[in-house]
Structure 1
């Protein structure tokens, strides 16, 4: 394979990368011999518009787009993916991946500068786990001139999952001024109206036949709001959270509660047309609809879905021998800083030896709910008595005002990793620190 030229024109990027980037490649990587590249992905940061209010002009926004794919981006576990990123926006940017464990060349705050405007960069990312991933620009909120859409990325399991359809449902939050323009997060939302979309539409419709088995990948792509999403009149069985398989369990009252950036994979056996209802903590509203037409005949009845294949996270964690640290989220005197000013020369939140179990006591001193995100690892949410954990893995957690939640993870990936803290207030700044695994 010929090495990519790192600074072609926009026309060359789009023309060259749209022709067959999904095919496998072998041989030379970045000008030298290296492991096989099994997938390729062309990403572009670009301006676009979105119709958010009927009868008004489309709203200017920014987006992270996969110009190499038609429809959803679907990779597979174990891929070495060559990512070519083109920045056609007027500020330095880089996509940040959420949900990947282990070393990721896509983390721009751990020593690699973001991509300059009108420039192109190439990186190699190892897809270490199957699941629902997300890439976006949230670490660059301070420089955004418009709200930016994230990009869902699907990492398929090695063996197909027994479903009829696999659908992504991306929920996004917008704050619109009276003139129809939208403000990015981290700005004062005064005189704006909150609005939500599913897959970029204010009224989304998912068509299916009755008696179909759907895998629905719900993503809270909003930047500040904890959201509850419910499919009326259906049993919703949760199969994975934040890109990691869970012991299957029914969603309470059919509703999923997701923190900003959180993901949930659910199995639904279709029965009848039903609305998707969204609750933002203030009111419920219909955001979409499952539209049933026809009936799918089957040779055998649908049985209980089997658990998804493991991503090889540890079955047990050594809580007795764990390293324990207190982390006060967003506290001004605790070293939290805006991403634009971040440096790994700052003091870490904590350090751990590779192979140790780490327990964090996450304290929220703020008067509002605060969102915590852990890069580099997934964690277990511990029971109140610290004697066990919930039967799922997470990378994102909402912590209520004045509360403390304890989490545990196996420090298996050496390096310097970010942690994030942001209050559920549109004007609140996103803050980061780092931790070390040595």
Structure 2
């Protein structure tokens, strides 16, 4: 659990100005060197935590331009094999970064180049993805953000990336021990200390009175799902999981669900009075402020009304559900029972297994996700975006997703056009469950 002491320490460490999330790199040959980089996470810690990071910086941002080739080299200077998944990017299968399925994991002391042209503008996570070996690298801090810039971004005063993570710390501030899970269905590692871009919360963000921010929020936690609340803020969702929403909308009851792997792009308008404040809060316990947004300085001239992002022409306007290949996917497992492993349709994920679905390119697919467990199950589909269907298959929500939460003991349906050839994971975004085999794959030929 996140303790009162951790909350107090975070409040005491509030900074003036938001720290930059690592070193921003561009598509002209970015290099990410993964290596140990001990650092003091908590302000009152007696010593350092054995963190791993990319080039010594927490949560680096790699920037690319839509339609231009991205070249990124991973150098592995950690003691574990690595590969990097670009969470939400609909790129070529060979560059999907699933160690053990789409590539060989990158051994200690070795390098691997990822080279692809991002088809979509948006906000995407960079996460370790090795079959059976992703949880510890992620919990040690190996995550980042890929921002693919479109040709006509909204006019804002500041465009800020906020990568949310939690860390399981001992009393002295060191990372709690990593143990191989004895149980077949681990629930997932929850941290005791929350961070934004690797630093204490809440972060202070300043912008002119009457100004506008673009916030790119990403959940890089191993297992912690939460809700985000927007207190005294006028926030508008313009994109979910990197893809434009069909029109802007204000969060229902000023809050949004936020599972591991989820991303939101928000436009936030500040009050016109200097000194007015608002807060982005994680709804954990009594609430943990993540960012404090302050109107400071001279009032800026009026901005145009908030407008939606242009729709992505590379995504289908409609999905022909009547022609869809359909498959039920039943999720089972029980962390409290030693002989009840995580499974999809009774099977633990294996690269040598048969695909969940095998379809020709261009086929519409409907997956019925049946969660027969007592835990919420966040799932990510690689290489594609999908619609969340209404209960009676009579329509879908006005946004695309690549990550979805299936509530405990509930059923939801998703639909997509299988337009990207290759082998693509459908996998838990709780890394310990993923490592334990809570994944399957679809094949598009």
**Secondary structure, in 3 states, of the residue corresponding to 1:295?**
coil
CA distance in 2, matches of 1:85, 1:428: 21
Matched, 1:213 2:202: no
Alpha carbons 2:188, 2:222 under 8 Å: kept: no
Q: 1:418 deviation in Å?
A: 0.9
CA RMSD, Structure 1 to Structure 2 (Å) = 2.9
1:222 pairs with 2:221? yes
Q: Contact 1:185/1:426 (CA < 8 Å) preserved in 2?
A: no
1:290 is matched with 293
2:85 maps to 1:87: no
Aligned match of 1:12: none
Q: Following superposition of structure 1 onto structure 2, how do residues 399-414 of structure 1 map, counting pairs within 5 Å?
A: 399-414=406-421
Unaligned runs of 5+ in 2: 1-23, 333-341
Cα displacement (A) at 1:59: 1.6
Q: What secondary structure does 2:134 align onto? A: helix
Normalising by structure 2, what TM-score?
Answer: 0.81
Q: How does 1:9-408 map to 2 (within 5 A)?
A: 22=26, 39-56=28-45, 57-65=47-55, 72-104=61-93, 105-107=95-97, 108-139=99-130, 140-141=133-134, 144=137, 147-183=140-176, 194-203=192-201, 204-247=203-246, 248-271=248-271, 272-280=276-284, 282-298=285-301, 300-330=302-332, 331-332=342-343, 334=345, 336-337=347-348, 342-343=350-351, 345-408=352-415
Whole-angstrom distance in 2 between the partners of 1:178 and 1:274: 31
Are the structure 2 counterparts of residues 346 and 313 from structure 1 closer, same or farther at C-alpha, using a change threshold of 3 Å? same
8 Å CA contact 1:244, 1:311 repeated in 2: no
Q: Mean Cα displacement is larger for which, 241-250 or 45-54?
A: 45-54
Q: How many residues align?
A: 397
1:143 positional shift: 6.0
Question: Greater strand percent: which structure?
Answer: 1
Give the superposition deviation at 1:83.
Answer: 1.4
8 Å Cα contact 1:371-1:396 kept in structure 2: yes
- Give the Cα–Cα distance (whole angstroms) in 1 for the partners of residues 293 and 228 of structure 2: 13
Shift of 1:424: 9.4
- Describe the superposition over 1:14-69 as per-residue Cα deviations: whole angstroms up to 9, x where unpaired: xxxxxx984xxxxxxxxxxxxxxx632211111123433222123221224598x9
> What's the offset of the Cα at 1:284?
1.4
The farther-off stretch of 347-356 and 405-414 is 347-356
Do the aligned residues in 2 keep the contact of 1:220 with 1:261 (CA within 8 Å)? yes
- Cα deviation for residue 230 of structure 1 reads 2.3
Instruction: Give the equivalent residue in structure 2 for 1:25.
Output: none
String of CA shifts for 1:316-353, please: whole Å, max 9, x gaps.
Answer: 01011111100113553736436xxx42x211111122
Q: Give, in angstroms, the shift of residue 427 of structure 1.
A: 11
Indicate the residue corresponding to 1:30 in structure 2.
none
Secondary structure, in 3 states, of the residue corresponding to 2:321?
A: coil
Contact kept, 8 Å, 1:163 with 1:214, in 2: the verdict is yes
Whole-angstrom CA distance in 1 between matches of 2:371 and 2:180:
19
For residue 320 of structure 1, give the secondary structure of its aligned residue in structure 2.
helix
Classify 1:191/1:132 alpha carbon distance in 2 versus 1 (closer, same or farther; 3 Å).
Answer: closer
Asked which structure has the greater RCO (Cα within 8 Å, sep 6+), the reply is: 2
Aligned partner of 2:439 in structure 1 is 432
From the superposition, tell whether residues 196 and 145 of structure 1 become closer, same or farther in structure 2 (CA, over 3 Å). closer
Q: TM (normalized to structure 1)?
A: 0.83
* CA deviation profile, 1:372-403 (whole Å, cap 9, x unmatched): 11001010000011110000000111111111
**Residue pair 1:209, 1:296 contacting (<8 A) in 2 also:** yes
Distance 1:106 1:190 in 2: 24
Separation in structure 2 between the aligned mates of residue 266 and residue 258 of structure 1, nearest angstrom:
13
Residues 1:169 and 1:365: Cα distance change in structure 2 (over 3 Å): same
Q: CA deviation at 1:207?
A: 1.8
Distance in 2 between residues matched to 1:48 and 1:290, nearest whole Å: 30
- Offset, 1:286: 1.9
Q: 1:329 to 1:63 in 2, by over 3 A?
A: farther
CA distance in 1 between counterparts of 2:295 and 2:180 reads: 40
Check the 8 A contact 1:141/1:185 in 2, yes or no: no
SS of residue in 2 equivalent to 1:49: coil
* 1: CA distance, partners of 2:190 / 2:303: 50
